[in-house]
Structure 1
Amino acid sequence: MVSLFSAKFLGRGLGAVALAVAVGASLVGAPAPVAAHGPDSIPDLAEGLLDAVVNISTAQTVKAQRSVPLPQVPEGSPFQEFFDEFFNRQNKDGDQPRRVQSLGSGFVIDGNEGIVVTNNHVIEDADEITVNFNDGTKLEAEVLGTDTKTDIAVLKVKPQTPLKDVHFGDSETMRVGDWVMAIGNPFGLGGTVTTGIVSARNRDINSGPYDNYLQTDASINRGNSGGPLFNQEGEVIGINTAIISPSGGSIGIGFAIPSHTAMRVIDQLRQFGETRRGWLGVRIQEVTDEIAESLGMAKSEGALVAGVTEDGPAEAAGLQPGDVVLRFDGQVVPTMRDLPRMVADTTIGKEVEVVVLRKGEEVILKVTLGRLEEAEVAESAESSTNEQAAPVRKETLLGMELSDLTDEARAKFSIEADVKGVLVANVEDGSVAQEKRVQAGDVIVEVAQEPVASPADVVDQVEKLKKEDRKSALLLLSNGRGELRFVPLRIEE
């Protein structure tokens, strides 16, 4: 089984990376192709950077809780008093606080101010942080700020003389195959240099909402976390963070936070001690091939708006559930996961242009971004409705039994008063609805981006789609709490 680790917490073992350059043979009558070579040797580059890379050691006080069971001995046995005294003393000693230490890497980005960058997981929950320099100097560090979403921490030390520092380069210019060099503290072996290439870009390893990692085959192991990944000019284009490995040691699949992502976070942590990200106020989901077809899109792209936060920037600008965000602030939105990063990197309070696809037409909206809410906001439940008693209307469609949303249905399925639409009273086994995880208690709010208020409305909309030769119907569903999601259902003849 292959596992994903933060480089700080890896097990034993070192991976080897084999590098080879293939030179094409010349063809008769044709010029020989030019072979691009990597650096033959990098001692001058490495020597100039080693003093700016640091080892970071941390200490944390934890309370060990150990309870050793007392052996069962006969009452009055001569061993009873001995065991009572021995095990009571062992359990008491086991409860004493103890010091836990760990190691990581980092690098100096401002030698005059003593600013050091590392990973958040390297220093998380530490009581003491010591920065160890290449010349043997040790300085205590304070934390200026941390960001768990990108796993970045900024530290400050107080040097007596200016420190050697390094500068960021542009990770956006890095191409797959470009040579890179990592320096860090693997397994406590400080000042270790490894080389490799950029193996891939824009990797999503499911570690956070803004994943956009550079992948490299330069050896990264336990203790490399927080260390720099350099380009051939000696500029930091990444912060080494994690590896994939079946054994815990390097197998040539490592990940680094790109400098393009890190620089903005670091600047905010230095200025404010916290991040200040843009906030749009929407809940989004992926535009799958089925959803794209149901919306009449030529290809799956953009981010589908599944919900709009009440009183948020998106609502004020007129964004609606069912809109597909195609462009944000002049940038194309290729997939759902690209939009959160674009929004987060945009200045709070800036008015941006958002292009959405709405019912087959592109609509341009102006949105003034707010600040991302980090804390969960408690939702207050609105009270009651006054529905007139009326005969309950029912229909069966696409494996769903549809019904009016009555007070009895709200009570049965715990559906809040502000949820409006058509109730899914039952789902047939083996139906297309069951395949898409539609379940009894869901509420159909829209069909093909048209609001529905009765089972007949749903049937009419599906029949309309059939006449338009659509292969699927896009339903906007709500659960009992009002959380929305889009579900495409195949239209069966």
Structure 2
Amino acid sequence: MERGKKRSYNVMDDEPVTYEFSEIEIQNLKIAAKKRPTFRGVENLDDNTKVSALKAVSFVVSLVSFSGASVLSQNCGAIIERDNNTNIVITSLNLARACDETDSDETDFRKNNLADDLKVVVYASDGSWYLGEIIFYDFFYNLAVVKFCSKSFFEPAKLSMIDDASVSETDFIRHHSSKLKHGDNVIVVGRYFQGANEYMAAPGVLSLNRFRPDEYDCNELFTISSRFTRCGDGASVISTSGELIGITFFDMSTSSPLLPINLISRMWEHFKEHGEMRHPSYGFDAKNVRFALLPTLERFRRLFPNVPNGLIVEKVFEDYNAESAGLQVGDVIFACDGIEIKSFLQLWELMFAKVGKEVELEVARVDLKVIKNIRLLIGEASNDEEIYRWPKYDYR
């Protein structure tokens, strides 16, 4: 697809193609299984986790990628759409990234290029393998979209947006919400590519704190406490009601990153409509003001009692539009184009729609005790830039 060309993009146009492995591919899959074991602790799951996980069985798939006959990666994924025979799966782009054979240093970052002679196959809940095709990928968010066709019907995931809004006084008396919030229970669900333990789950808790910002350039990642093995890269993260709230990526720390479905669905809809990717470039990192340190939060509330919500700027990047516009670390963004800002995902959505245009931010500058209006041009970053890097582990 030619970069920058805008057109409608029809992804639903193929016939079902089941897949049979060659002998050498079967041998390589057995070797890969030894390196990429199933989730640990599956035999000790509590009843509530099992009940919730079973609600997602239909849309959870396993994916295996090959570079030639060699196994490149094994991922999990989620079916988010189906039309006629065609299923659309979201997963981690680690499925298709090239591996550098000469450098296994785990502190390095993944390269932004795809493997040669790439082939993807999908293992679905009906026990069949299907030939897949990557139709969309994004190095920024490490996201891939795969389509495969089947005669079997798989119920697509129901999506549940994450609510990362600030807590106001009325939030404390809100007894329920259809959106996931900070502190809610979540479950990582995945499907293994062979053996008896093919369906897997790992319970955890959602945190709206940024995931390891010192290691990941992507500042749109939240944190979940679920832990799983390498085979769960790209796995679905669901609510206790079985709805999809995002996908996760394998990490060697004590927690895992979550890419919210809010962001994924917005990018996918844009791609379907325009046939291209979009990456808003705004040049700062911010988090919900309620996650600020208590002394900072107390001072902000005292100086600006009429500003109930907002995002506190944690970092302004050099040579980006935010720096030239005058945004500063410690500023609290509480409005964008006259719209009250309650969450980071809300601001991201507004900026996504305004790429190439200016927005007016209303900012509380705590150190000067003043309100400022800042005009910020929302740029667009190239998919080829060496930013939004992802740590490189041995995915082979």
Q: TM-score range by the shorter chain?
A: 0.5 to 0.7
Q: TM-score, normalised by structure 2?
A: 0.59
Please identify, of 353-362 and 49-58, the stretch whose mean Cα deviation from structure 2 is larger: 353-362
Within-5 A mapping of 1:169-208: 169-172=160-163, 173-186=179-192, 188-189=194-195, 191-198=198-205, 200-205=207-212, 206-208=215-217
Pair member with larger Rg: 1
Distance, in Å, in 1 between the alignment partners of 2:208 and 2:43 is 20
Matched, 1:371 2:380: yes
- 1:56-79 alpha-carbon deviations (Å, 9 max, x no partner): 011103xxxxxxxxxxxxxxxxxx
Closer, same or farther: CA 376–234 of 1 in aligned 2, 3 Å: closer
Alignment of 1:86-485 (within 5 A): 99-112=70-83, 113-124=86-97, 125-126=114-115, 127-160=118-151, 162-172=153-163, 173-186=179-192, 188-189=194-195, 191-198=198-205, 200-205=207-212, 206-217=215-226, 219-245=227-253, 253-272=255-274, 274-280=276-282, 282=283, 301-302=312-313, 307=318, 319-320=325-326, 325-327=331-333, 329=336, 330=339, 345-349=352-356, 351-356=358-363, 357=365, 360=368, 361-367=370-376, 369-375=378-384
Equivalent AA in structure 1 for residue 232 of structure 2? N
Amino acid at match of 1:354: L
| Change in CA separation of 1:104 and 1:364 when aligned onto 2, cut-off 3 Å | same
1:268 is displaced (CA, Å) by: 3.3
Conserved 8 A contact 1:130-1:138: yes
> Aligned in 2, Cα 1:271/1:122: closer, same or farther, shift over 3 Å?
farther
Check whether the contact 2:42–2:200 (CA below 8 A) recurs between aligned residues: no
CA-CA distance at 1:373 after TM superposition: 4.2
Calculate the aligned-residue CA RMSD, in Å: 4.5
Q: Distance in 2 between matches of 1:353 and 1:114?
A: 40
Tell whether the 8 Å contact from 1:49 to 1:166 is kept in structure 2 after alignment.
yes
Listed as ranges, the matches of 1:44-55 within 5 Å are 45-55=52-62
Is the 8 Å Cα contact of residues 91 and 143 (structure 2) preserved in structure 1? Answer: yes
1: CA distance, partners of 2:94 / 2:62: 14
Any conservation in 1 of the 2:138–2:383 contact (CA below 8 Å)? no
Cα deviation, residue 104, structure 1: 1.3
Match of 2:172 in 1: none
| 8 Å Cα contact 2:186-2:206 kept in structure 1 | no
Structure 1, unaligned runs of 5 or more: 1-7, 21-37, 62-97, 246-251, 378-493
Higher relative contact order (CA 8 A, sep 6+): 2
**Residues 62 and 192, structure 2, Cα contact 8 Å, conserved in 1:** no
For structure 2, the residue ranges without an aligned partner over 5 or more in a row are: 1-32, 98-113, 164-178, 305-310, 387-396
Q: Deviations over 1:377-411 (max 9, x none)?
A: 9xxxxxxxxxxxxxxxxxxxxxxxxxxxxxxxxxx
1-side partners of 2:138 and 2:237: how far apart? 20
What is the aligned residue count? 296
